[in-house]
Structure 1
């Protein structure tokens, strides 16, 4: 699937929240200043072309719905981020988080507990 812009991601968050929506439903969810209806409709069509949305037609009205879950998108996006910026290394991600984001000692202890629990749950 093609990469989404930040704006397209914001539209997808609305679709994930609503599960299905008409263009006007999405427009109602957007903050001010709202884009023109036709501009929003074009962006939604682009999301459909990229494979993130599909629609059902009722007369001349299209009801759009996501074709990918937010969890699936998050997983794909994170894996791309991991490959593109951290050479596929989880260690590099954690190192970045500790150095650049200032993880506290408590945060690191929680991460260690999570790692330990995941290791224990995978054993027979």
Structure 2
């Protein structure tokens, strides 16, 4: 797993969940239910103080973990990749935060493993 700060384009559902991620010039489809949480950021390094009532975007990052597959001709060797994305609350822009180890996109049947 590595930490990044790379801009990505994200298309969302009507509920605001990531549906398609355009990464490295290629569209990728979110293949599992994305997971959202918030992480505290070190806002005091960049800001002199946090105005009362500010939280999301200044104090906390909105992070989404998504599992993706490229939108292209799928082959059995294609593997899904898991990314953590950050959405900037004020601008709506998305950034790649973490890349996790790739996982197989399909389950291996016991007789396939032999």
Normalising by structure 1, we get a TM-score of 0.26
Which is richer in helix?
1
Which is richer in strand?
2
